[in-house]
Amino acid sequence: MREVTGKERGTDADYYRISSRLPRETRDYVPMMIAAARIAKDPAKYGFGSDSQHRRTAAAEVAQEPRVSE
């Protein structure tokens, strides 16, 4: 986004102003990154509590025979 706007650091408004000139995959990807950044900045505002509240860990042991490639 810096190259298109010519600024050192763009803003959300800059993205939406130039989005029609960007490739489709970029237009689809950038809003998700903007949302993730906003949530990370203030998780409680978006309904996320502490990390320990949402962290679930699953683990499984899997036995496997050694393989030799031919």
Q: Over the chain, what is the mean pLDDT?
A: 76
In a domain, 60, yes or no: no
Domain residue limits at 13? 2-49
To the question of pTM greater than 0.75 for the whole model, the response is: no
In a domain, 43, yes or no: yes
Tokens 């906003």 locate to: 38
In a domain, 37, yes or no: yes
Number of domains within the chain: 1
Tell me: pLDDT of 44 over 50: yes
| Residue 67 to residues 63, 64, 70, Cα–Cα distance (Å) | 12, 9, 10
The token pair that represents 62 in the structure block: 């899997």
